[in-house]
Amino acid sequence: MIDRKPKNLLKTPLKVVNVGLDGFSQDLARQNVPVVRVQWSPPAGGKPELARLLAKLGG
């Protein structure tokens, strides 16, 4: 999937994808750091059997 060069964290313009606590993305936005907020929830609604199947099926 990655044919391009890996992004050097210090040399690439910082653009954050925030997965989890929303407060972090608000703080970043306040400082004009570009941030994409992911609305995360546990895979398969937190149901462990389904999550297990998903993991095995590459989902």
Residues forming contacts to another protein in the complex (CB under 8 A) are 1-2, 4-24, 27-28, 31, 33-34, 36-48, 50, 53-59
Please name the residue ranges forming H helices in the chain: 22-30, 48-56
Angle ∠(58,22,9) on CA atoms, nearest 5 = 65
Task: In whole angstroms, give the CA distance from residue 6 to residue 12.
Answer: 10
